[in-house]
Amino acid sequence: MIGIYLLGALTIAITLFFSRNKLVEYSLVGVFLGLQTIFTVHTCMHNGITELVYFTYDSLGILLLVTLNIVSIPAAIHSYIYIETHKENPQTRAIYLSSFVLILMAISAGYLSNHIAVTWIFTEITTLAASALIYHHRNKLALEGTWKYVFICAISITFIFIGILFLSLSLQHAGSDDLSFKNLLAKSGQLNPIWLRMAFLFIFTGFTAKLGLVPMFTAGIDAKDTAPAPAGALLASVLMNLGFVGIFRFYVVVANTPLLHWAQLVVGSAAFLSLFVATVYMMKVKNIKRMLAYSGIEHMGIVMLGIAAGGIGYYAAVLHIILHAFVKSSLFFQFNQLYRVFQNKSIYHVGNYFKYNPTGAIVLLLGFISTTAMPPSGLFVSEFLIFKSLFDVGQIVLLIAVLLLLTMIIWSFGKNIFKVLFVPAVGFDDSNVEKISPWESVSQFVLLATAVYLGLNPPAIFVQMLQESVSLLPL
């Protein structure tokens, strides 16, 4: 099935690239979404099956694939709205839709791959597809953002490759050269620790470019800022999850060796630094889209803290990353409507949003509550569990520092969001503000509600799959 999916998606992407007919393009995207849904259902029905040697449908992959499927449908709808309101010319539209399909395909395949080099290949393809999405506006800023993103990702990808080389050196000591995660896990006792350390450092650093963690987070911020909002939503949710998958699958291997404690230290310090950096930037950022992107860094920091703490933290981290994808993508979808009203990204030129688009303002408010993990947000549950895991391992000082940083983030986030919602913008001429249909906000409500539902009242099968996805980690 994955062969059919990859071939079909690739064919659709290529046809879209050369097509100039609007009707054909939109129906092709529809066909792709259908294919994606069928594929997701197929993977759900065949849990644990390996197809085409390199792809295994395991619980983590399936969970994230379902997340991707749920986010991709509103992303397509909002891309349609975006293209229609901007009256894009046929060429830009074709390139946008083509790379939209390509990036979703590459991310899906990356989730499911069971071989570290195959994950590498698909991660690289996402960079290529993302570059076309980021460059969509074809102006100076877009060019700058694209260049930085492509360059930093190219370097990071090379780092991952170096890490893979070190890993294979480490694996030679175990008398094997099969780099699939399953074999790595089976041989984890015999891996050479020096090379394994080097491999972990390089692979971790490389994947942080996609995950959005210190040290390689910068490129992602520029990318999410300059890409069109629906594409930015993909970059800020499902693409970050791909970085998480890359690190997580390898972390599972390292965690089963004596290096567990060292790896926890590396991941934990990178996570705490990310939280710190996110706080500093959140305090001074005035660009709403960048603020949302920095908030993503904060959440990834929390997720990796959960991974580093272990115990219930593993479970909470996977839960958090899924819920975060729903919440953050809905905020990015909403941002596009905000931009259509005010024609500006800066806090200074935006305000009193409740007056111009009440439905959208409610989405922003609910999105704010969800992102900052206030109850009844689903993220509250996962964040609470992560704090509990930190408490369990006795990291009280770290926990207090994290809570202080989070308080500052909530303060600065709230300050900006309430300015957008209630305080009138100085010198804003509201005589010909565009009317936004409330229907455009429906998908955001659905996404936010899904996050609440999955957090507060998770279905049994969901909990079971979450537990399965972290079952290989030592307690």
Q: For binding to other proteins (CB under 8 A), which residues are involved?
A: 115, 117-118, 120-121, 124-125, 127-128, 131, 135, 139-141, 143-148, 150-151, 154-155, 157-158, 161-162, 165-166, 168-169, 171-173, 177, 179, 192, 194-195, 222, 225-226, 281, 284-287, 290, 346
Peptide bond into 228 cis (omega under 30): no
Closest approach, Cβ 172 to other proteins, in A, equals 5
Give dist(CA 27, CA 4) in Å, integer.
Answer: 19
Provide the 10 A C-beta neighbour count for residue 1: 17
Closest approach, Cβ 438 to other proteins, in A, equals 32
Residue closer to other proteins, measured from CB, 74 or 206: 206
Closest approach, Cβ 156 to other proteins, in A, equals 11
Residue closer to other proteins, measured from CB, 126 or 450: 126
Closest approach, Cβ 303 to other proteins, in A, equals 23
User: Any idea which residue has 């054909």 for tokens?
Assistant: 24
Closest approach, Cβ 314 to other proteins, in A, equals 29
Residue closer to other proteins, measured from CB, 131 or 264: 131
| DSSP codes of every residue in 355-387 | HH-HHHHHHHHHHHHHHTT-TTSHHHHHHHHHH
Buried b (16+ CB within 10 A) or exposed e, 297-329: bbbbbbbbbbbbbbbbbbbbbbbbbbbbbbbbb
Residue closer to other proteins, measured from CB, 169 or 446: 169
Residue closer to other proteins, measured from CB, 100 or 315: 100
Distances in Å between the alpha carbon of 367 and those of 153, 217, 287, 328, 353?
29, 23, 17, 8, 14
Closest approach, Cβ 351 to other proteins, in A, equals 16
Residue closer to other proteins, measured from CB, 87 or 138: 138
Closest approach, Cβ 122 to other proteins, in A, equals 9
Residue closer to other proteins, measured from CB, 115 or 187: 115
Closest approach, Cβ 140 to other proteins, in A, equals 6
Q: Residues near 121 by Cβ (< 8 Å), separated by ≥ 6?
A: none
Closest approach, Cβ 13 to other proteins, in A, equals 14
Helix (H) or strand (E) holding 51: strand 50-51
Give dist(CA 341, CA 21) in Å, integer.
Answer: 29
Give dist(CA 410, CA 71) in Å, integer.
Answer: 25
Give dist(CA 318, CA 462) in Å, integer.
Answer: 11
Helix-helix angle 238-255:59-86, to 10 degrees: 160
Residue closer to other proteins, measured from CB, 31 or 125: 125
Give dist(CA 180, CA 250) in Å, integer.
Answer: 10
Buried b (16+ CB within 10 A) or exposed e, 110-142: bbbbbbbebbbebbbbbbebbbbbbbbbeeeeb
Give dist(CA 237, CA 325) in Å, integer.
Answer: 4
Residue closer to other proteins, measured from CB, 348 or 391: 348
Closest approach, Cβ 344 to other proteins, in A, equals 13
Closest approach, Cβ 77 to other proteins, in A, equals 28
Residue closer to other proteins, measured from CB, 78 or 187: 187
* The two structure tokens encoding residue 11: 């064919």
The count of residues in the chain is: 475
Q: Residues near 197 by Cβ (< 8 Å), separated by ≥ 6?
A: 259, 262
CB 112 within 8 A of CB 61: yes
Residue closer to other proteins, measured from CB, 162 or 273: 162
